[in-house]
Amino acid sequence: MQRAIRPLATGAALLLLAACQPTPEAPPEGAQRQYGQLTFKPCTLTSAQASSNVEAECATLQVPENPADPGGRKIGLNIALLDTENEGEGKLDPVFFLAGGPGQSATQVAAIVNQSLRDVRKKRDIILVDQRGTGKSNPLDCVDADGKELAFDENAAATPEVIAEFAKRCAASVAGRADTRFYTTTEAIGDLDSVRAALGVDKINLVGGSYGTRVAQQYAARFPQHTRAVVIDGVAPNDLAVGGDFANTFESAIELQVAQCRKDAACAKRFPVDTRTQLRNVMTTLAKAPVEVEYRDPGTAVVRRDPISADTVTSLAFLFSYMPELSSLLPVVLDEAAQGRYAPLMSLNSMATRNMAGQMNRGMQWSVICAEDADRYQEAPAGDRLLGPEVARMFFAACPAWNVGTRPKEFTAPLSTQVPVLLLSGEFDPVTPPRYAEQVLKHLPNGRHIVARGQGHGTLNAGCMPRLLAQFMDTTDAKALDASCLDSLSPVPAFTSFNGWEP
């Protein structure tokens, strides 16, 4: 699971509450800012995936790596503050952004957060906490003693055997600087509450997307007294074994894409063989005989020559689920591959893999899924699915080599709370489909589910969503939101050529 997130709010009662809460002192330009017990200093948040930097203020909070051993090793939580643009009205309860993945750094997606929560930020501070094991919070990076990244060919087929071998080397590399048993969601929500307490605020708002929706639900269940409101986008139910249902959700998303193409005359004419059939044909052909392909690397423009196999196509399909903006390219790329021209597919796979590799911390991801999901996954017969159990096998392949923690007994229980919750889904989401949010909504009397038409995994910045998020922040009344402004959303048409789609 990968991107996403959301916001929340209140009304007049909040203004009274805000008066009782600490207000961070606005410092002169370039000076330090005291916010509760934390001292923030100016910083610039950058990311290879972002087109612009974000000016912020950063602080570090030391916490025990093992919460049960407060005298043991400490790790520093990297915290960034995007302060409200309206200092004149004082500070309302802040919004904590919870990144996806597992393995995404919150501060490294600051540019996306800043854009999506721009209206929310007019009244509330945005707090970004790099979850332990990511970003600058003692990252579980796979590096050698000299800090050099362990070799892993991003363009090679990611088979379970390749991943298991790499995980074994990675586990050895982090053993001296981290105990990977303590980098799960359970420790993470404890960290969030430590940050809340250090800031000196009684209640916070949670905005979580994809895996961040799990973090938000777990925090709201454990600390309901400190949770004012919750927004979860790309919702994962607590009892979902992450990665285990992917074959089904991906199949449903492809079928929706096929139906969309059939409704469009230009798309239906250009692709008489639908995407699902093309994908199966290409995978079947390459399973019989992998091919050596010459293509241009989209990141370096260097001409490369690498083998392409059915595993490569499976990997691309998996990455497509996390990068739904690529779905419009899938039909034309598969059509080329069906005619024996694999270079576009290899270039797309290389680009998608590179982008994902820069966003996810593998070690932290393994600490989470190996403790929380792997033993709950039950492999089912592939049936007529495009993707069989291979993807889940890759997802959990590292677990035997990883030092795995535990989860509480109540971990998979559904979130049942009176806290206002706004649930968001993309209609075509191939990872966390709308039916997941509907399942979670059953236990939320003050919840509402909004499906964004034609969208994929992550809807925070879709259309008028930023404005709706700010309104929810102000009222905490999800059911009263007028979401009709989202009716103008529509799917991105399939490319009928590499020049784009027909008008």
Angle at alpha carbon of residue 490, lines to 484 and 494, rounded to 5°: 175
pLDDT higher for 127 or 147?
Answer: 127
Residue 394 lies in a domain: no
CB count, 10 Å around CB of 223? 17
**Residue 492: pLDDT band with limits 50, 70, 90:** confident
Domain-located, residue 501: no
Cα–chain center distance at 57: 23
Residue 382 maps to a domain: no
Across 48-180, the runs of DSSP E, i.e. the strands, are 54-64, 74-82, 95-98, 126-129
Strand partners, 42: 57
**pLDDT value of residue 215:** 98
Cβ contact 10:27 at 8 Å: no
Range of the domain at 325: 271-359
Least confident window among 388-392, 402-406, 418-422: 388-392
User: What confidence score (pLDDT) does residue 358 get?
Assistant: 64
Domain boundary among 299, 333, 359: 359
* 108 within 8 A of 359, measured Cβ to Cβ: yes
Residue 79 contacts by C-beta under 8 Å, 6 or more apart in sequence? Answer: 38, 40, 58, 59, 60, 61, 127, 128, 129, 130, 195
Cα–Cα distance for residue pair 223/230, rounded to 1 Å: 12
Distance CA 203, CA 224 (A): 9
Tens of pLDDT along 353-365?
776 666 789 999 9
What is 383-430 written as a DSSP string? TT-SS-THHHHHHHTTGGGS------TTTTSPP--SS-EEEEEETT-S
Both 78 and 35 in one domain: the answer is: yes
Q: Are strands 447-452 and 126-129 parallel, antiparallel or unpaired?
A: unpaired
Range with top average pLDDT, 26-30, 70-74, 299-303:
70-74
Q: From 359, 375, 395, give the residue that closes a domain.
A: 359
| DSSP 8-state code for residue 256 | H
Domain-terminating residue out of 340, 359, 378: 359
The verdict on residue 248 lying in a domain is no
**Rounded distance, CA 81 to CA 247, Å?**
39
Structure tokens at 8: 């929340």
Q: Looking at residues 465-490, what average pLDDT do you find?
A: 96
Task: Write the pLDDT tens digit of every residue in 314-353.
Answer: 777 767 666 656 778 888 999 999 999 999 988 888 877 7
User: Three-state SS across 169-221?
Assistant: HHHHHHCCCCCHHHCCHHHHHHHHHHHHHHHCCCCEEEEEECHHHHHHHHHHH
Sequence-ordered list of residues with C-beta below 8 angstroms from that of 13, at least 6 positions apart, any chain: none
The model's confidence at residue 206, banded by pLDDT at 50, 70 and 90, is: very high
- Is the pLDDT higher at 450 or at 394? 450
What pLDDT digit, counting tens, does each position of 48-59 carry?
A: 665 679 999 999
- Work out the pLDDT band at 3, boundaries 50, 70, 90: very low
Residue appearing with tokens 């206002």: 420
Neighbouring C-alpha atoms within 13 Å toward the C-beta of 100: 27
8 Å CB contact between 65 and 74: yes
* Number of residues that make up the chain: 503
Show the CA angle centred on residue 56, arms to residues 195 and 225, nearest 5°.
25
- pLDDT at position 374 is 95
**Domain contains 207:** yes
Is there a single domain that holds both residue 423 and residue 464? yes
Closest CA to 178 of 138, 135, 136: 138
Note whether residue 378 is domain-resident: no
Geometric angle at alpha carbon 69, from 135 and 185, rounded to 5°: 40
| pLDDT over 50 at 8, yes or no | no
Q: Are residues 282 and 198 in the same domain?
A: no
Are residues 173 and 282 both part of a single domain? Answer: no
Residues 340 and 204 both lie in one domain: no
Predicted pLDDT of residue 29: 54
pLDDT digits (tens, 9 = 90+) for 228-262: 999 999 999 999 998 888 888 888 888 888 888 89
376 closest CA partner among 395, 390, 360, 358: 395
Looking at per-residue pLDDT, the higher value among 497 and 173 belongs to 173
pTM assigned to the model: 0.88
Q: Are residues 100 and 168 in the same domain?
A: yes
- Residue 375, number of CB atoms within 10 A of its CB: 13
User: Are 330 and 385 in contact, with CB atoms under 8 Å apart?
Assistant: no
Report the mean per-residue pLDDT for the chain: 87
Q: What is the mean pLDDT of residues 300-304?
A: 88
For residues 30 and 311, which has the higher predicted lDDT (pLDDT)? 311
Per-residue confidence band for 153, with pLDDT thresholds at 50, 70 and 90: low
Omega before residue 102 within 30° of 0, cis: yes
Judge whether residue 366 has pLDDT over 80. Answer: yes
Please tell me whether residues 228 and 292 are part of one structural domain: no
Most confident of 137-151, 256-270, 425-439: 425-439
Is the same domain home to 71 and 158? yes
Give yes or no for residue 313 having a pLDDT over 70: yes
Which residue shows structure tokens 């586990």? 171
CB 403 within 8 A of CB 181: yes
Q: Are residues 166 and 234 in the same domain?
A: yes
Q: Same domain for 138 and 34?
A: yes
Within-domain flag for 53: yes
Report the C-alpha dihedral over residues 466, 467, 472, 474, rounded to 10 degrees.
120
Check whether residue 435 and residue 353 sit in a common domain.
no
Residue-level pLDDT at 14? 25
The pLDDT of 159-163, averaged and rounded, is 85
Q: Which of 129-133, 331-335, 406-410, 466-470 has the lowest mean pLDDT?
A: 331-335
Overall domain count for the chain: 2
Same domain, 128 and 180: yes
Cα 478 from Cα 499, distance rounded (Å) = 41
Domain-embedded: residue 364: no
Q: Which amino acid is at 15?
A: L
Rounded percentage of the chain residues whose pLDDT exceeds 70: 88
Q: Is 156 a residue whose pLDDT tops 50?
A: yes
Give the model's confidence band at 376: pLDDT under 50 very low, under 70 low, under 90 confident, else very high.
very high
Given a contact cutoff of 8 angstroms between Cβ atoms, the answer to whether 222 and 251 are in contact is no
DSSP secondary structure of 326-390? GGGTHHHHHHHHHTT--HHHHHHHHHHHHHHHHHB-HHHHHHHHHHHTGGG------TT-SS-TH
Minimal CA–CA distance to 333: which of 494, 456, 455? 494
Q: CA 179 to CA 138: how far, in whole Å?
A: 11
CATH of the domain at 428: 3.40.50.1820
Chain mean position to CA 348: 20
Residues 80-113 have pLDDT tens digits of 999 987 665 556 899 999 999 899 999 999 999 9
Determine the average pLDDT of the residues in 375-400: 83
